Amino acid sequence: MNGYERRKEQKKKDIKQAAFSLFQKQGIKEIKIEDLAKHAGVSQVTIYNHFGSKEALFREVIKEFVADEYEFHRELFQSDLSFREKMTTSILHKTNNVLNIHPEILEEMMLNDEELKLFLADFQSKYAIPLIVDVIKNAQNNGEVNPDLSMESIMVYIQLFNNNTLISMITGENGKKLATDIFQMFFYGLSLPSDSK
């Protein structure tokens, strides 16, 4: 990669970082290309040249975010932490993401943008689900998860917590408390965690 290509890639990276920061705070609907250009310190033409439209920029930013989240969880799940520690870290991380991302972003990702919905479904089947299957199988082998539970039943359970209605509720009023409670129930059910008994 020559100097021009490096500068071009760096500029794209800077635009995506600035755009994500703006989307995170303000959502997507009210933001205009001129807002993105000002926030990124570039011209509107530069954004159009690199991405074509606000929507295309948004999709690229979200796809990069999803890939980064996958890498975070891949490293976490391959670490030497216990299953419970891995899940606790994951819960806190996901809850923090939900609470710090503007509700419109989650709505666009999960409900409104057809291209992103297809991307997320494909990414989940190819990467996210195999990753969670591996960590659960390892936990079953280590005696940290009930080995009598079939992977099919575990995956059905996971899917119960992965639907559009749930996303809509988490992004609504009282979303912070709801998200925390849902992640708690996901991993510990309705009973008290063992260390609180």
Burial class of residue 23, CB neighbours in 10 A (0-12, 13-18, 19+): buried
Lookup: tokens for 165: 């209605």
Domains of the chain listed by start with CATH number? 1-52 (1.10.10.60), 58-196 (1.10.357)
- At 129-160, the pLDDT tens digits run 999 999 999 999 999 988 999 999 988 877 77
pLDDT of residue 174: 66
pLDDT of the residue at 178: 73
Which pLDDT belongs to residue 162? 60
pLDDT of residue 64: 94
What local confidence, expressed as pLDDT, does residue 120 receive?
92
State the Cα–Cα distance between residues 150 and 121, nearest whole angstrom. 23
Nearest to 136 by CA among 119, 122, 157, 120: 157
Mean pLDDT by 10 residues, the chain (197 residues): 79 91 90 92 92 93 94 96 87 78 82 89 92 93 91 82 58 66 71 55
For residue 122, what pLDDT is reported? 95
Distance CA 37, CA 44 (A): 5
- Cβ-contact 183, 94 below 8 angstroms: yes
Give the integer Cα–Cα distance in Å for 90 and 109.
20
As a 3-state breakdown, the chain gives helix, strand, coil percent values, each rounded to 5, of 80, 0, 20
pLDDT at residue 197, as a whole number: 45
Give the residue from 151, 154, 143, 127 showing the smallest Cα distance to 82: 143
pLDDT of residue 191: 64
